[in-house]
Structure 1
Amino acid sequence: MVAQSYYYQDKYESAAEVFVRAANIDSPASLKFCNLAFELFRKAGNTWKALQAADAILKRSPRDHTAAAFRRHHLFDFLLTEELLEANKQAMAGITANDEFIRSCELPFNNLMWCGDEGINSRIRDLRAPLFSSDDRKRRRAQPHQFARKIRIGYFSADFSSAHATIILMRGVLECHDRNDFEITLYCNTPDSLIANDAGFRQEVGKLVSIRDLTDAEAHARIRDDGIDILVDLKGHTSGARIGLINSGPAPIQVSWLGFPGSVTGIDCDYVIGDPTVTPDTSKPFYHEKFCRLPECYQANDNKRRPLPPPMRRQDAGIPTDRMIFASFNNVKKISPETIGAWASILRNCPDSILWMMCDNEIAQENLLRYLDAQSVAPDRVIFARPIGYEAHIARLQAADLCLDTFPCNGHTTTSDCLWAGLPVLTTKGSNFASRVSESLLVAAGVPELVSESTDEYVALACELAKNQSLLKSLRQRLLDNRFSAPLFDTERFTRHLERGYRMMVERRKAGLDPDNIDVPAFPPRQEPFR
């Protein structure tokens, strides 16, 4: 009765706590009470307590799929290092053994947070989405299609807002597209919350078609009616995806780019846009897509609208003026147990250093500090950065000395933000797309020596740079010197390479050829800065 009273007052968390206490009394109904607490904590938006309730369910019913899938997904939110390490080992064992229950609890994007094995990555798909078959793909490719003089490109995303990382990266490309040869349409699945934070992009970008309220069949018909030659899926297995729409085959050529760093297993794309670093020949067996490799870097970057404010003073950033500042501004989901272990080694070996990192979840902060303390790293060696506006963020990046990348899932927009700000990023060589991203960006920025060969070398190089400030300053200066000349931030050059790739895809289709691997030839190097 007490729980019901709380429930009818919309006090879901209080109701859940009643059921937690009831579940702790050993009785045949304890599992039922655990499930009620789990659902109510979720309804209240308390992920941490829902995670604890899921644990309670799994102790009583180890193969409860809802609880197991929730736990697997949200363990990555709280920097539970030892628990996550054990859970990852169990997931690897289960997936390798073809345990369908274990595999069904694994989401493709989460899999990239801990697993750099492309063979394992390729076995994980979103089981909630409709499948496509080889026959479906053949039927799509066999449909008659009339090409016009201009190539008609459709970009699909749920992130069409200047506030989202995807548009921070690619807005300049959309503006640089050659409208004499290309017709660009954006198919928008963006939620109102993101649209509300847009600062003009949606009004300035050109043809934007909302399909958010259309069914997959209706959106398919709209894209077909528009005569789109190449549909570029900017989502893959990420939030806001429309896998059913993509798998319905609305375009003769379908391409995966930018949103999901790897093969979009279970999604009908003909090509994935990569580069020689993120998609080497050795990766081909693990992709159902063919490669369209851009010559320098797969990642778009905007050199016109990305802000470049003066550096923030360390005093204003809340960090010491007289210490070596290691920084990390990646999402906490990417901070793997292996990454934390490497950071602990670096901090122990560099006693005058501070780790300055983005983490605004107090429970995750406590979990991290507790783990580091057990690794002989005092809690006062870590300073947590608060979320701030994008321009101020670029300013504060310049106050750090060295950014420590995460692995096996690297920083993506985060890494390019650091390099744009002139902050060196230390990474390690990877074994799949997601773990090779920072290497691709560093090579394109002209600082390949910041790519270590192993975790041990990553730790050693971080310590060397902390002690050798002249070397660190020289790397920083090279980033600043290269900002407007190296390929990474050359938006126009990138766009011309991307368009060349699109032309090569269309030429194959017009010739009646199936998609095949494409290596886009590079234009001659620039002789002058582009800005």
Structure 2
Amino acid sequence: MIANITNWQQQAEQYLLQGNYIHAANLYEQAIAQEPDVISYYWHLGLLLLLQGQEAEAQMAWMLPMTEAEEEKLQEYTNELLQVLKIEAERRETLAEYSLAWTIRQHMREINPSDIHNLLKIIQLSINLEKFEDTELSEWGIIEILKSRDAVNLSTDFLQYLLALVIEKTPNYPVLLDLIEVCLPYISESADCFWIVLPAAMKIGHTYKLPALAARILELYLDVDSQNTEALRQLAIFYQNSGDYYQGIETAKLCYSQSQVLPDKIFAIHLVLRGLMTAGGYWEEVCSICQELENLLQKFIKAQPLPLDEVRTLRLLSPAFAIPHIKDTPEEFRTIHNQIAHIFQSNIQATFQEQTQKYSQRNVARKKLLSAGKKLKIGYLSYAFRQHSVGWLARWLLKHHNQDQFETHTYFVSYKLVNDFLQDWYVNQASHAHKLGMNALEIAEQIYKDEIDILVDLDSITLDISSEVMALKPAPIQATWLGWDASGIPAIDYFIADPYVLPDSAQDYYTEKIWRLPHTYVAVDGFEVGVPTLRRDELDIPTDAVVYLSAQRGYKRHPETTRWQMKILKEVPNSYFLIKGAAEEETIKLFFYKIAEEEGIDCSKLRFLPQVALESVHRANLGIADVVLDTYPYNGATTTLETLWMCIPLVTRVGEQFAARNSYTMMMNAGITEGIAWTDEEYVEWGVRLGKDAALRQQISWKLKQSRQTAPLWNGKQFTREMEKAYKQMWQRYLDG
């Protein structure tokens, strides 16, 4: 007979805690031999066998009393066994022994497959062990149990935690939608739910680039809380990003109607404009709303100072992006924009006063210790180090940097968790690559920690997070390059330009010092070109026809420029016009058809081309054109470079603003003046002349081909040396100042 029952059970418990399962199991086997009717001994023996990996033996130990039990005792025995297993599973979880806890709970699932508490715990453990399969949510009946509302006494705190965990670890699984939908009714506070769902939607829509899925998640939330304006804002963005322009526009209008304070109204009306312009063709409405936006901005400036939180501050700059697409009035535009940028910076620095002061003090202290001849640390900040127009153009600077004189750091804002070979290239190219998220303070802290000397922003106002980082001034010298026009943020010292892309008078209305490189503000060594997928015969275009092409997004389609293009088409016999670019298909067709009919052009001369998946194929397809017709007042940039690289004549209208002079500087730096128009009339004249004069087209094409060997536009190494010289001069000025 085993000694005193209390003593041996305490000894068995000690063995269990020590991990000596064999000795503990031996004690229970002896106990069963002497007291076979004590059912609890079987539960503990089976557990100890399970902990030794003897799963079949464990199940046999549990089943032995079950097979001999009367019907009314079965449920009681089952509950006792589950309680023993639950206590041990929870102990293992406390010890972070997740694998054992997972094994125990899997056996609990086999015994009671409808215990929602246990099922959700298994999901949590599976995620911790990185073995979660999305099919488990449906195969185990979790979705159905939650949907039926049979999850009695379910901890909503744990459900919220688990939902956030599933979203974080498995954000691209379609079953996620089902899980969110069935969890929402259990979460009583909509605010609690919102701060789980919104980050999930943001990550899925932006980081994983699945905007349609992100939109569906927000739709589910809005079924619960239809008045949440922030959810409407983000939903409008995701609709537009996924190409659902109608819903994107209507949701933005609803958001605008529900917005109460000026900053919210400004951003909401920007979303309406964003949708209309991206879709293309809604010109009268665009002009009307753009004027309303300007009025709101002026009203906002006059109303200062207004208390603004960080989120509302971040939304101040992006609405201005729309205005240069509408009109070429830089002095007027920048007067408003620079004031908004000043307010933006003041609010950001007030929000993060401690960090701003820390950065400023360290920069002042370091200046006394630094020398002109040191190896400069250059930081490049962007969300576009990937297959993006900026990504295609900036790479030559990174490739040709002199690593003996410069230490380069790339700061990836919202690093994309997708397969992108160009993003991978950037990761490997810099001396140090930092894969970061969307937290501006974390990004600024990394820049500060790296002791960057010159920070170069490639995004300007196209990304609010980058603007926030620059406003914090984590580096002593800061510059804007490439991504867009200057942001106007006072903390930015320089805007990198060239002799052509801004007129001589531009410094009068720029807050940044315009640093003009000697030739061009951008250069590339070339582009990858694939195999074309377009043929004239497949487009029903005669072999001897003159083919014009315009390949721009919908928001660059201005009716006046389109009218010039139709006039050109009318003057050139046997001519056709190919139109390509992301837009709402039917709307953009109606836009072109209406103007064509007004100008007496047969709409059969127009061809609308589909998008292609690869940029290399897009470039190859440019070869179908005899002449490319640029947009105005917002020129092409990357598309212009690609056109010139493919040796195709281009017609551009030169304006006053940065966006209206990109093609001009690129043509000048490729050694081409044919096609540069300074008036509306000249644009039409050049278009007609190039269409009618095949010899002139051939001459331009030959000059462009020759320019690949000699022109500044195609010399990435020379351009890099000029940028490096500029950095050294900026640094010397800083030390001398």
Is TM-score (shorter-chain normalized) higher than 0.5? yes
How far off its partner does 1:59 sit? 8.9
Q: Which segments of 5 or more consecutive residues in structure 1 lack a partner in the other structure?
A: 1-5, 20-30, 514-531
Q: Could you say which residue in structure 2 is the equivalent of 1:323? A: 545
Deviation of 1:319 (Å): 6.2
Aligned-residue offset at 1:510: 1.6
- Measure, in 2, the Cα distance between the counterparts of 1:460 and 1:87: 31
- Specify which of 415, 427, 444 is matched with residue 669 of structure 2: 444
266-275 or 212-221: which moved more? 212-221
CA distance in 1, matches of 2:275, 2:701: 37
**Alignment correspondent of 2:328:** 116
Q: Report if the CA contact (8 A) 2:407-2:431 is conserved.
A: no
Structure with max Cα Rg: 2
* Counterpart-to-counterpart distance in 1, 2:731 and 2:464: 28
Alpha-carbon distance in structure 1 between the residues aligned to 2:236 and 2:468: 30
Distance 2:573 2:549 in 1: 15
Give the direction of change, closer, same or farther, for the CA distance of 1:413–1:464 in structure 2 (3 Å limit): same
Assess if the C-alpha contact under 8 Å between 1:116 and 1:408 holds in 2.
yes
1:404 correspondence with 2:625: no
- Which residue of 2 is the match for residue 280 of structure 1? 503
Q: How far 1:286 sits from its partner (Å)?
A: 1.1
Counterpart for residue 245 of structure 1: 469
Other-structure match for 1:186: 410
Q: State the AA in 1 paired with 2:517.
A: L
1:57-136 to 2 correspondence within 5 Å? Answer: 65=265, 67-84=268-285, 86-87=287-288, 90-91=291-292, 94=295, 107-122=319-334, 123-124=336-337, 125=340, 130-131=345-346
What is the CA-CA distance between 1:224 and the residue it aligns to? 1.9
| Whole-angstrom CA distance in 2 between matches of 1:344 and 1:223 | 50
Q: 1:484 to 1:241 in 2, by over 3 A?
A: farther
The alignment of Structure 1 onto Structure 2 pairs a total of residues equal to: 489
Question: CA separation in 2, counterparts of 1:56 and 1:206?
Answer: 44
1:103-502 mapped onto 2 (5 Å cutoff) = 107-122=319-334, 123-124=336-337, 125=340, 130-131=345-346, 139=360, 142-145=364-367, 146-147=369-370, 149-161=374-386, 163-192=387-416, 196=420, 198=422, 200-210=424-434, 212-213=436-437, 215-239=439-463, 241-260=465-484, 262-266=485-489, 268-303=491-526, 306-308=527-529, 314-315=535-536, 318=539, 320=541, 321-360=543-582, 361-375=584-598, 376-388=600-612, 389-502=614-727
CA distance in 2, matches of 1:344, 1:81: 18
Of 330-339 and 482-491, deviating more is: 330-339
Question: How many angstroms does 1:142 deviate by?
Answer: 3.5
Q: Are the structure 2 counterparts of residues 242 and 469 from structure 1 closer, same or farther at C-alpha, using a change threshold of 3 Å?
A: same
Q: Closer, same or farther in 2 for the Cα pair 1:313/1:72, shift >3 Å?
A: closer
Rate the CA distance shift 1:67–1:257 in 2: closer, same or farther, 3 A: closer
- 1:107-163 residue CA offsets vs partner (Å, 9 max, x unmatched): 1222221232112331224799553689979947635345462111111111122x2
496-505 or 276-285, which deviates more:
276-285
Q: Distance in 2 between matches of 1:499 and 1:11?
A: 42
For residues 113 and 317 of structure 1, do their structure 2 counterparts lie closer, same or farther at Cα, with a shift above 3 Å needed?
farther
Counterpart-to-counterpart distance in 2, 1:47 and 1:85 = 14
Mapped to 2, the partners of 1:346 and 1:71 lie a distance apart of: 33
The alpha carbon displacement at 1:414 in A equals 0.7
1:395 Cα deviation (Å)? Answer: 1.4
Give 1:232 shift.
0.4
Question: Is contact 1:104–1:127 with CA below 8 Å preserved after alignment?
Answer: no
Match of 1:523 in 2: none
Distance 2:438 2:291 in 1: 40
By how many angstroms is 1:51 displaced?
1.9
Q: Highest relative contact order (Cα 8 Å, sep 6+), 1 or 2? A: 1
The residue type equivalent to 1:485 in the other structure is T
Q: TM-score, normalised by structure 2?
A: 0.59
2: CA distance, partners of 1:210 / 1:105: 25
Aligned residue for 2:32?
none
Distance apart, 1:446 and its partner CA: 0.5
Alignment-mate amino acid for residue 342 of structure 1: W
Deviation at 1:393, TM superposition (A): 1.7
Q: Distance in 2 between matches of 1:297 and 1:40?
A: 40
CA distance in 2, matches of 1:274, 1:104: 25
Change in Cα spacing, 1:142 to 1:489, as seen in structure 2 (3 Å) is same
C-alpha distance 84-478 of structure 1, shift in aligned 2 (>3 A): farther
- The verdict on how the C-alpha distance between 1:119 and 1:291 changes in structure 2, with shifts beyond 3 A counting, is same
Q: Structure 1 residues 498, 341: closer, same or farther in 2, change over 3 A?
A: same
1:266 Cα deviation (Å)?
A: 2.9
- Give the percent of matched residue pairs that are identical in Structure 1 and Structure 2: 25
Greater displacement, 108-117 / 204-213: 204-213
Deviation at 1:40, TM superposition (A): 7.1
Q: Distance in 2 between matches of 1:459 and 1:468?
A: 14
Larger % of helix: which? 2
When the two chains are superposed, the root-mean-square deviation of aligned CA atoms in Å is: 3.9
TM-score by length of 1: 0.80
Question: Any conservation in 2 of the 1:317–1:396 contact (CA below 8 Å)?
Answer: no
Counterpart CA distance in 2 for 1:38 and 1:263 is: 26
Which residue does 1:517 correspond to in 2? none
- Given residue 579 of structure 2, which amino acid in structure 1 is its aligned partner? M
8 A Cα contact 1:452 1:458, kept in partner? yes
Q: Is 1:51 paired with 2:274?
A: no
For 2:326, give the aligned amino acid. W
State the one-letter code of the partner of 1:47.
Y
Unaligned segments of structure 2, at least 5 residues: 1-177, 183-212, 304-314
In the TM superposition, residue 316 of structure 1 has moved relative to its aligned partner by 7.6
Deviation at 1:91, TM superposition (A): 4.6
Equivalent in the alignment of 2:42: none
CA contact 2:547–2:626 (8 Å) conserved in 1: yes
Whole-angstrom CA distance in 2 between matches of 1:406 and 1:248: 36
Cα 1:351/1:92, change in 2 over 3 Å: farther
SS in 2 for 1:398: helix
Paired with 2:448 and 2:718, the residues of 1 have a C-alpha distance of 30
Distance 1:480 1:417 in 2: 13
CA drift of 1:384 comes to 1.8
2: CA distance, partners of 1:356 / 1:341: 15
In structure 2, distance between residues paired with 1:43 and 1:421: 34
| Cα distance change on mapping 1:195 and 1:280 into 2, 3 Å | farther
Quick one: which amino acid aligns to residue 249 of structure 2? L
Structure 2 Cα separation of the partners of residues 96 and 178 of structure 1: 44
